[in-house]
Each structure stands twice: as structure tokens, then as C-alpha cells.
């Protein structure tokens, strides 16, 4: 049993490749094709693994893409608990256009999950023994799964477990009505939730504070891209600035931030210190190419640099 468990309802095999130039209506030749496991919770567990920690990834898994995903995760040494589903796990496509350095990310909706398959996911959390210290609910919900699904998972989670929620849209809106230890919206997700524009640190702080004042969410870590994060707790707030790094690919930045934060919490750090390590991990993730998450040596070096300012 793992002290940190992640749930991914809509995992993916990320297929990425490079091309000099994307041209419409032409047959395009890609190169440097690679395959990586993906989806919010899967990425968080992978980031934790990269950082030298351990997490159990619970994920839905179906069809030949599901088999491939299982194989990719096994080869990386990530501990998994697979919930079989009838339809194929999705495959997302990421194309790096080398001339422009633009990145095109195509996300697929994912398999439609039956009611029984959804129940099996909830049961897998309920039956974890002992209950995990941290449960990370991360990523989009696939077709057929109702918006209040994460709320139902949280209800089925024991009080001992601290829930970290990182999702968007309607799933996020309904999730904040439940007991959440840490919410990790990015700027856009917080805007959608607050129903107003976030144009300053003060806006981010006030929107996060309003969520906490509703009494269910203990802390909100708003990620602000290259700006770092705004961490708001019941009685405190911290603006943690991201360091300047060479940007290669933003994929996995948010998931690396969550992974680093949860791992540091698990290792006994305070929430502000853990969030600082999370920011270091997020920034380390943007330094790596394509779908690669944060590298441990980059994250630890950046964290030490952040402490010296």
C-alpha cells in the first residue's frame, strides 16, 4: 500500500513526434516518434517516481491502447492498480513544429465508461487498506462520467486521507463542494470557477480565499505559469515565484508541481515549503522536451536556488 495514491479516470498514451513544418492538406512526414504514459494522476505518480518517491497509480485501462499503457508504466517501474474498462483507453497526439517551435496538442475524449466501471473505480479507492495519506484526483473525466464524480470519490474516502484535486470545468466546480485538502487550479481554471477574470495576484488571492471561506477546501494553490504559484491557506498566503528557466515544453508542468508538492508533504514538509518544492518541480518540467516530466536533479537544484533568494 502506498501513502500516496493517484486516480486517473481518463489516462492516455501520449504519442509525440516532431515535424519541420505543419502544412494543411498535405501528407506530412513526422519523426522522433515516442510514446509516454499520460493523464493527470498518471503523470503525478510518474513525477513522484522520477523524484525518488513512490506512489500507487489507480487508472482505468481498456483495449489494446490500455495494454500498451500498462506495459509503458510497468517498464518505468510505476506501481499501478488497473480498473478494466470495455472501450479503448485514449491516445493523445502531440506534434512539435521545429521551425516555429510551436507545439500542437490534440486531446481525445477517451472511452465511455459504464456505471459499473465507474463504481469499480470508487470501490478501488474505498477498499485501499490502509487508506492512503494523500489521494490525488487529477485530470479530466471521460465520457459518461458525471461531473460530480470526484465528489463521490471524496465521499468514499476516509477522513484520514488528504485529498488533492486538480481538474477543470464542471468536475472542478462540483469537487469544491467536498472536503478537499488542497486544490490546484491554474489561472484559467480559477477564472472559470470564480466567474471573473484573474488579472493580478490580488485577484488570484481573493478568488482562492473565497473558495476557502466556503468551508470545504483547506488550501488553494493557484498555478500561474511562469509566475509560479499563489498558495492560500485558511490563515495565511504565500506568493511563490517561479525561477527563470529555459523553456522547452510545458507539458506536465502542472502535474509535476502537484507531484513535487505531495511528495514533499509526505516527507514532512510544511505546505508552503512543499509548494515551493512543487514550483521547482513544475519549472524543472518545462526545461525538458515534449512529454518528459521533471528530472530530479533539475528539481533539487532549482529548489536550492530558490532557497538562496
| Dihedral sign computed on CA atoms, order 131, 137, 143, 149 | positive
Number of residue whose CB is nearest Mg ion: 254
Could you tell which of Mg ion, ligand ATP, none binds residue 225, using a CB distance below 5 to 8 A set by kind?
ligand ATP
Q: The C-alpha cell of 285 is what? A: 518540467
| Residue of 66, 252, 254, 290 that binds Mg ion (CB under 5 A) | 254
Q: Using the rule CB under 5 A, give the single segment among 48-56, 88-96, 252-260, 282-290 that binds Mg ion.
A: 252-260
Using the Cα atoms of residue 278, residue 282, residue 287 and residue 290 in order, give the sign of their dihedral. Answer: positive
Would you say 2 or 186 has its CB closer to ligand ATP?
186
Instruction: Report how far residue 266's alpha carbon sits from residue 23's, in angstroms, rounded to the nearest whole number.
Output: 47
Catalytic residue among 255, 273, 289, 298: 255
Closest separation in Å from C-beta 126 to ligand ATP: 27
* Least distance between ligand ATP and beta carbon 156 (Å): 25
Written as nine digits, the cell of 248 is: 522547452
The option from ligand ATP, Mg ion, none interacting with 69 (CB < 5 to 8 A, set by class) reads none
Distance, in Å, from the CA atom of 25 to the CA atom of 95, rounded to the nearest integer, reads 16
The neighbour count for residue 213, using CB atoms within 10 Å, is 10
Residue 255 among the catalytic residues: yes
Q: Hey, what's the cell of 259?
A: 507531484
Residue 223 CB, nearest approach to ligand ATP (Å): 3
| Placement of cell 509566475 in the chain | 227
Measured from the CB atom, the residue of 122 and 245 that comes closer to ligand ATP is 245
How many residues does the structure list for the chain?
A: 309
Strands (DSSP E) along 39-133, which ranges?
A: 56-61, 79-84, 90-97, 102-106
Please give the Cα distance from 214 to 159 (Å, whole number): 19
- Choose among ligand ATP, Mg ion, none what residue 138 binds, the Cβ cut-off being 5 to 8 Å by kind: none
| Residue placing its CB nearer to Mg ion in the complex, 73 or 285 | 285
Nearer to ligand ATP, 43 or 124 (CB): 43
Residue 195 DSSP code: T
CA distance 30 to 95: 8
Our CB check for Mg ion shows the closer of 37 and 254 to be: 254
Shortest distance in whole angstroms from residue 105 CB to ligand ATP:
9
The least CB distance from residue 283 to ligand ATP, in Å, is 4
Binds 118, which of Mg ion, ligand ATP, none (CB < 5 to 8 A, cut-off by type)? none
Contacts of 295 (CB under 8 A, 6+ apart): 50, 284, 287, 288
Name the site residues for ligand ATP (rule: CB under 6 A).
186, 223-226, 228-229, 242, 245, 247, 250, 252-255, 257, 279, 282-283, 286
Regarding 290 and contact with Mg ion (CB under 5 A), the answer is no
- What residues are labeled active site? 255
Amino acid at each position: 500500500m502506498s501513502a500516496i495514491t493517484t486516480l486517473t479516470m481518463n489516462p492516455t498514451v501520449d504519442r509525440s513526434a516532431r515535424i519541420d513544418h505543419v502544412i494543411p492538406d498535405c501528407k506530412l512526414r513526422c519523426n522522433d516518434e515516442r510514446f509516454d504514459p499520460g493523464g493527470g494522476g498518471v503523470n503525478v505518480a510518474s513525477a513522484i517516481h522520477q523524484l525518488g518517491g513512490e506512489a500507487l497509480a489507480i487508472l482505468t485501462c481498456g483495449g489494446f491502447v490500455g495494454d500498451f499503457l500498462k506495459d509503458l508504466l510497468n517498464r518505468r517501474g510505476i506501481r499501478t492498480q488497473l480498473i478494466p474498462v470495455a472501450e479503448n483507453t485514449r491516445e493523445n497526439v502531440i506534434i512539435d513544429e521545429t521551425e516555429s517551435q510551436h507545439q500542437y496538442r490534440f486531446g481525445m475524449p477517451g472511452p465511455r465508461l459504464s456505471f459499473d466501471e465507474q463504481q469499480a473505480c470508487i470501490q478501488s479507492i474505498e477498499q485501499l487498506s490502509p487508506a492512503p495519506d494523500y489521494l490525488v484526483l487529477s485530470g479530466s473525466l471521460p465520457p459518461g462520467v458525471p461531473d460530480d464524480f470526484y465528489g463521490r470519490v471524496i465521499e468514499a474516502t476516509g477522513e484520514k486521507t488528504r485529498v488533492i484535486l486538480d481538474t477543470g470545468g464542471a468536475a472542478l466546480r462540483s469537487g469544491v463542494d467536498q472536503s478537499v485538502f488542497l486544490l490546484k487550479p491554474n489561472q484559467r481554471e480559477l477564472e472559470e470557477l470564480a466567474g471573473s477574470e484573474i488579472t493580478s495576484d490580488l485577484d488570484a488571492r481573493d478568488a482562492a480565499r473565497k473558495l476557502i471561506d466556503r468551508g470545504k477546501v483547506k488550501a488553494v494553490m493557484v498555478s500561474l505559469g511562469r509566475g509560479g504559484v499563489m498558495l492560500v491557506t485558511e490563515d495565511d498566503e504565500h506568493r511563490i515565484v517561479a525561477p527563470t528557466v529555459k523553456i522547452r515544453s510545458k507539458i506536465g508542468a502542472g502535474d509535476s508541481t502537484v507531484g513535487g508538492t505531495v511528495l514533499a508533504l509526505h516527507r514532512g514538509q510544511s505546505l508552503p515549503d512543499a509548494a515551493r518544492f512543487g514550483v521547482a518541480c513544475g519549472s524543472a518540467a518545462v526545461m525538458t522536451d515534449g512529454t518528459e516530466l521533471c528530472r530530479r536533479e533539475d528539481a533539487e537544484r532549482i529548489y536550492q536556488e530558490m532557497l538562496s533568494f
